[in-house]
Amino acid sequence: MNTAVQSDNKQMQEIVEKVRRGERLTLEDGVFLYKSDDLLTIGQLANEANLKKNGKKVYFIENMSLYFTNVCEAHCAFCNFRKDEGQEGAYTLSGEQMIEYVEQHIHPGVREFHIVGGHNPHVPFQYYVDSIKALHEKYPEVTLKAYTAAEIDFFSRISGLSYKEVLQELMKVGLKSLTGGGAEILSDQYRKKMRVDKADVSQYLEVHRTAHELGLRTHTTMLYGSIESHEDRIKHMLQIRDLQDETNGFQVFIPLSMQPINPKAGIRRRNSAFEDLKTIAISRLMLDNIQHIKAYFINIGTQLTQVSLTMGASDAHGTIVKERISHAAGALTPEGITREDLIWLIKGAGRIPVERDTFYNEIKVYE
């Protein structure tokens, strides 16, 4: 065996022992795991770590994705959802119009509205408040998980209110949790190159810090698979881990596999299955203080989601009903999935499906 292979084996063994002793992995450990092609060892280790945290339970929610507006002042290089005001296909719905849409598509058992959209500067902050207020009044039993940290930063800019004041105004009308989007890669250099002309790294983290201080439990994401390095991804995870040490407000980490702008794009324009599974497993190993890692079937497909449940993922997301952002960017997956299909998928991986609410309280365990 040559010395490089011996050295790799030794380093992998050291990481295995660290994880089993409950020691934290470092930046160097994370980068090594990304460079390794030993997916089975990485996946097995992540599976061990997940089983310690969550046993064989895999969580899902009956939810519905809603988008009030696709008009956006930002021009992020990876986004195919945004439109300019007046452009063909641009829309900005009132609360009443959204209720009409929901009534046409909602099914019994929906517990959460997942609400994100464009940064539309042509309407005031009050529009965004009124949007969720209308939903909360019509569907008081459905939890509102609304807006990304980047949207909260945008609302702060257009209203002149602080992050805390913006969040308090939204909480008054029913906001219960923030979505995880807007993180992309937490590197200002990356954000400059990818024209992420919205909240910067410190602003993204500060919004979540403020939300956690106000008692909101939030989600967080990482959009991977474009120009970032493996080191950028691990640094992203470490910044999330540090904030979680401070606030303990993140419920779940969601690795989002970048979609090509064109649905007809070939496989070389997409992340490989190997890369997707490795990212889920490494997320589980690096983020020892976050309870759940989500496998997002919209971006990686249902079958890979099923495999990921044995490689560190403990959340299979939810029914969604009709996803638009990843599909605008070329996702080839279903726009939604039924509860029965999710249960089948989870059981097929030898796991126990658990229907949850937004805060991971168990609604029903499907033994």
- pLDDT for the residue numbered 299: 87
Q: What percent of the chain shows pLDDT beyond 70?
A: 91
Residue 339 reports pLDDT greater than 70 = yes
Angle of CA points 211, 212, 217, to nearest 5°: 95
Q: Name the amino acid, one letter, at 28.
A: E
Structure letter (DSSP) for residue 269: G
Per-residue pLDDT averaged across 86-110, rounded? 93
- pLDDT for the residue numbered 320: 59
pLDDT band at residue 270 under the 50/70/90 scheme? confident
- CATH class of domain segment(s) 28-365: alpha beta
CB 58, CB 351: distance < 8 Å = yes
- pLDDT for the residue numbered 325: 58
Residue 324 reports pLDDT greater than 90 = no
Per-residue pLDDT averaged across 20-46, rounded? 97
pLDDT band at residue 86 under the 50/70/90 scheme? very high
- pLDDT for the residue numbered 6: 74
- pLDDT for the residue numbered 1: 52
Binding site, annotated residues for [4Fe-4S] cluster: 72, 76, 79
Check residues 329 and 151 and name the one with the higher pLDDT. 151
| Residue given tokens 């976050």 in the structure block | 290
Q: What distance in Å separates the CA atoms of residue 131 and residue 110, rounded to the nearest whole number?
A: 19
Residue ranges per domain, the chain? 28-365
Mean model confidence pLDDT for the chain: 92
Q: Name the amino acid, one letter, at 206.
A: E
Q: What is the 3-state secondary structure (H, E, C) of 302-341?
A: HHHHHHHCCCCCCEEEECCCCCCHHHHCCCCCCCCCCHHH
Collapsing DSSP states into helix, strand and coil, what is residue 251? strand
Q: What percent of the chain shows pLDDT beyond 90?
A: 79
pTM of the model: 0.93
Residue 186 tokens read as: 């937490």
Cβ partners under 8 Å of residue 44, min gap 6 = none
Q: What distance in Å separates the CA atoms of residue 227 and residue 224, rounded to the nearest whole number?
A: 8
pLDDT band at residue 28 under the 50/70/90 scheme? very high
Comparing CA positions, the residue from 105, 161, 100 lying closest to residue 128 is: 161
Q: What distance in Å separates the CA atoms of residue 200 and residue 187, rounded to the nearest whole number?
A: 8
Q: How far apart are the first and last CA of the chain?
A: 47
Residue 145 tokens read as: 């998980």
Q: What distance in Å separates the CA atoms of residue 252 and residue 219, rounded to the nearest whole number?
A: 5
How do residues 107-129 score in pLDDT, each as one tens digit?
888 999 999 999 999 999 999 99
Angle of CA points 122, 124, 129, to nearest 5°: 130
pLDDT band at residue 240 under the 50/70/90 scheme? very high
| Residue given tokens 């602003």 in the structure block | 203
Structure letter (DSSP) for residue 260: P
Residue 329 reports pLDDT greater than 70 = no
How do residues 202-228 score in pLDDT, each as one tens digit?
999 999 999 999 999 999 999 999 999
Collapsing DSSP states into helix, strand and coil, what is residue 34? helix
Residue 5 tokens read as: 């292979």
Q: What distance in Å separates the CA atoms of residue 302 and residue 300, rounded to the nearest whole number?
A: 7
Residue 198 CA: distances (Å) to CA of 174, 203, 327: 25, 9, 21
Binding site, annotated residues for S-adenosyl-L-methionine: 78, 184, 195
Check residues 278 and 332 and name the one with the higher pLDDT. 278
Binding site, annotated residues: 72, 76, 78-79, 184, 195
Alpha-carbon Rg for the chain in angstroms: 20
CB 68, CB 101: distance < 8 Å = no
